[in-house]
Homo-oligomer: A and B are copies of this chain.
Amino acid sequence: MSLVVVGSVAYDGVETPHGKAERILGGACTYISLAASYFTHVKIVGVVGEDFAQEDVGLLASRNIDVSGLERAPGKTFFWQGVYSADMNDRTTLRTDLNVFADFQPKLPEAFKEQPFLMLGNIQPDLQRDVRRQMRAPELVGGDTMNYWIQDFRPQLLAAIREWDFLLINDGEARMLSGETNLKKAARAILALGPRYVVIKRGEYGALLFTPEEHFVAPAYLLDQVFDPTGAGDCFAGGFIGWLAGLGKPRAGVTSADLRRAVIYGSVMGSFCCENFGVDRFRTLTRAEIDARFNEFQGFTRF
């Protein structure tokens, strides 16, 4: 049983107050799958260009990620370049070259369609919907989105998320999608659109989980230094669905306690992501370190 992850695989140029990287492995699919790989087996669907380095495929393979759905197309890999503000709460995009990603039409290999878990990274909502329909009978389907799709592809987005079990979204996007400033009201409005859970990410302030029955408030981990926040939201997503997938339960068996722990594992993975440039932290991270940080979360939240 595997988790299927669909999304961008990219090269990023990143500058933070702590340093600069000209061209490093990135993309939502990359971060989600690396984070999830500590909890469950992952199969990815994405597209890269002829310039995609074998050592980057090697990093994914080293985490036992199935890359048979990673298409290699003529042209260059998606490239994004951005620079962070001094406090790293804002970032400015300097360049976006979609390259081969512009014509991305995700096609699931046969063996992928039978899998029970699906995470749809932030791509055009019609593509997300198409992937969802390629799956036979998934137990748990979740997705991410962004301001651009909310504003300019609203009907397509609403059609997509209606078929999801959960939506991961940040606070600003939740307000934009729902038209509600208050996050409790925003969450209620989003749940009415179809998803059974909504997780609202608040960056350095943590995350909120809402179900029709209850909500859960999770803090973020306080790091001594945020080296590079790129990919932290995707690593949250990977930790969240990866941990749920690792439980291997059917949809109806997932409890409130499971979901709460999934949010904490998401926060744990997001925190590790920020400790080094790009995906570098995942070159050395161990499951023991992850579980130790989960225990730290219990320590600094208990009262």
Residues of A within 8 A of B (CB): 86-87, 181-185, 202, 205-206, 208, 214-219, 222-226, 257, 260-261, 263-264, 297-303
Interchain CB contact under 8 A, A205 and B208: no
Interchain CB contact under 8 A, B261 and A303: yes
Interchain CB contact under 8 A, B86 and A303: no
Interchain CB contact under 8 A, B216 and A222: no
State whether A183 and B222 are in contact (beta carbons under 8 Å apart), knowing that A205-B202, A205-B205 are contacts in the complex. yes
Selected A-B contacts with CB under 8 Å, 22 pairs: A86-B181, A182-B223, A182-B224, A184-B222, A184-B223, A184-B224, A185-B224, A205-B205, A205-B206, A206-B219, A208-B222, A214-B300, A215-B300, A216-B300, A216-B301, A216-B303, A217-B300, A219-B219, A260-B303, A261-B303, A263-B303, A298-B303
| B-chain residues with CB within 8 Å of residue A299 when the two chains form the complex | 214
Query: How many angstroms from the CA of A224 to the CA of B214 in the assembled complex?
Result: 14
A224: min CB distance to chain B, Å? 6
Query: How many angstroms from the CA of A128 to the CA of B106 in the assembled complex?
Result: 65
A194: min CB distance to chain B, Å? 22
Number of copies: 2
A258: min CB distance to chain B, Å? 10
Chain A contact residues: over half helix, strand or loop, or mixed? mixed
> 9 closest A-B pairs (Cβ-Cβ)?
A260-B303, A217-B219, A205-B205, A184-B222, A217-B300, A87-B181, A184-B224, A264-B303, A216-B300
| B-chain residues with CB within 8 Å of residue A215 when the two chains form the complex | 222, 300
Q: A205-B205, A205-B206, A257-B303 are in contact. List 7 more A-B contacts (CB 8 A).
A: A185-B224, A202-B205, A208-B222, A215-B222, A217-B222, A219-B219, A260-B302
| B-chain residues with CB within 8 Å of residue A87 when the two chains form the complex | 181
A84: min CB distance to chain B, Å? 12
| B-chain residues with CB within 8 Å of residue A185 when the two chains form the complex | 224
Q: Which residue of B lies closest to A262 (CB)?
A: B303
| B-chain residues with CB within 8 Å of residue A297 when the two chains form the complex | 303
A53: min CB distance to chain B, Å? 33
Query: How many angstroms from the CA of A221 to the CA of B287 in the assembled complex?
Result: 33
Query: How many angstroms from the CA of A184 to the CA of B300 in the assembled complex?
Result: 13
* Most-contacted residue by chain B among A223, A264, A299, A303 (CB, 10 A): A303
Query: How many angstroms from the CA of A260 to the CA of B261 in the assembled complex?
Result: 22
Q: Which residue of B lies closest to A205 (CB)?
A: B205
Q: Which residue of B lies closest to A294 (CB)?
A: B303
A206: min CB distance to chain B, Å? 7
A238: min CB distance to chain B, Å? 19
Query: How many angstroms from the CA of A303 to the CA of B300 in the assembled complex?
Result: 12
Interchain CB contact under 8 A, B86 and A301: no
A232: min CB distance to chain B, Å? 16
Query: How many angstroms from the CA of A216 to the CA of B299 in the assembled complex?
Result: 8
| B-chain residues with CB within 8 Å of residue A206 when the two chains form the complex | 205, 219
| B-chain residues with CB within 8 Å of residue A86 when the two chains form the complex | 181
